[in-house]
């Protein structure tokens, strides 16, 4: 992606796009994602910049690279 942009989308089983507000526990979804730029992964605070937002959404775990999922 141009300028280090990140792209990810999630879809329901009918192929319709979903937002975080649309998802419910137990839903079957497909997720398409592109790895973060190297400069975000190399910087020790890259994940921590967004961590407080992720915690508000219920994610309290560590950073997990897409390549490790």
- The tens digit of pLDDT for each residue in 24-62 reads 888 887 777 788 788 877 877 878 888 898 898 888 888
**Can you tell me the distance from the alpha carbon of 22 to that of 57, in angstroms, rounded to the nearest whole number?**
13
* pLDDT of 2 over the 70 cut: no
4-24 pLDDT per residue, tens: 444 456 667 777 787 778 888
Q: What is the pTM of this model?
A: 0.46
* Sign of CA pseudo-dihedral 23, 27, 33, 38: positive
- Residue 48's pLDDT is 86
The pLDDT, as a whole number, for residue 3 is 42
Q: Which residue has the tokens 């089983």?
A: 13
Q: Which residues have C-beta within 8 Å of that of residue 37, sequence separation ≥ 6?
A: 4, 6
């Amino acid at each position: 992606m141009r300028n280090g942009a990140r792209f990810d989308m999630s879809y329901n089983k009918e192929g319709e796009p979903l937002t975080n507000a649309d998802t419910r526990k137990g839903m079957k979804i497909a997720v398409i994602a592109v790895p973060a730029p190297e400069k975000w992964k190399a910087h020790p605070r890259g994940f921590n910049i967004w961590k407080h937002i992720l915690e508000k959404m219920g994610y309290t775990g560590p950073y997990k690279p897409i390549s490790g999922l």
